[in-house]
Amino acid sequence: MADWTARDVPELSGKTVVVTGGNSGLGFESARVLASKGAEVILACRSVSRGQSAKQEIATRLPDARLRVMKLDLQDLSSIEGFATEFGTHCRRLDVLLNNAGIMNTPYRLTQDGFESQMGTNHLGHFALTGRLLDVLARTPGSRVVTVSSSGHRAGTMDFGNLLFQNERGYTPFKAYSRSKLANLLFAYELQRRLERHGVDCMSLAAHPGAAQTDLGKHIEDEFFMRLLKPVLKRVVQGPKSGALPQIRASADPTVRGGQYYGPDGLFQMSGSPVQVQSSRASRNTHDADKLWEESERLTGVLYRFS
């Protein structure tokens, strides 16, 4: 079977896509490819000016692209609510919600609402956003939610007694990052189970890019061990165009199914063609998924209404 590429994305005219963090990296490449196939793409960005620059860059290559920039700060629940309200006034459908934005290995910080920033941005922000947009997703036949995780989820552990590293207790940048990426998968799989249970015509999928060269790793690129590995990594790390293919496939391939996880097919899933891959046993723990859902609703105040 031939490798799946951006050329395999079907025509998307009439469809509406939201890409969080669509101004750079994997989000930018995803937005560009989906727009090239006729979708109306909303670049949901923390920085409107950077979003406008990304829009202009895509429009230069694709003059007919249907693009819109909207303000979204995943570290601020009020911003998420405002985005969802504004989206509802402009758009009557949402075919794909691509939960792409994220931060990685950052020093200990808190979001606007007092959450540890990596869990707050990567999981809780997207949990709240998806819940706020659930009505329009449910009204759109065959809609999808695609949540971007990472191979780093395999190192993640859930600790519901100290989920957000209260007062920096036990905090290390990678421990928090891997926990947030495990949370992404627990959420994606649990969302699919709940959509099925309530008969909602919407799929939840997940994807990861493997090793991709983006700005996400800027907090670790100067560390000693990364400088040592740099010559090796240059040979295996993909560019963002290749790294974005798993999430693009999950967003657009008509053959995908809810609950699937897409990543590269190469050694250690670091690079290669986008295929369905397996995640860790911890990511499929239904007890943890249910507990995380309960905690996420409590922390964000966003309750999912499926009916």
d(CA 54, CA 207): 23
261 is catalytic: no
Contact 29, 220 (CB under 8 A): no
What's the CA angle centered on 278, arms 122 and 99, to 5 degrees?
25
The candidate with the shortest Cα–Cα distance to 243, out of 144, 105, 150, is 150
The candidate with the shortest Cα–Cα distance to 70, out of 95, 99, 90, 45, is 45
Contact 6, 194 (CB under 8 A): no
d(CA 11, CA 253): 10
Would you say the C-alpha torsion 162, 167, 169, 175 has a positive or negative sign?
A: positive
Contact 297, 130 (CB under 8 A): no
Contact 120, 254 (CB under 8 A): no
Token representation of residue 59: 């429009």
**Residue position matching structure tokens 């971007």:** 148
Catalytic-role residue among 177, 189, 261, 262: 177
String of DSSP letters for 13-46: TT-EEEEETTTSHHHHHHHHHHHHTT-EEEEEES
The amino acid present at 159, given as its one-letter code, is D
Beta-strand relationship, 274-276 and 261-264: antiparallel
**Residues labelled catalytic:** 177
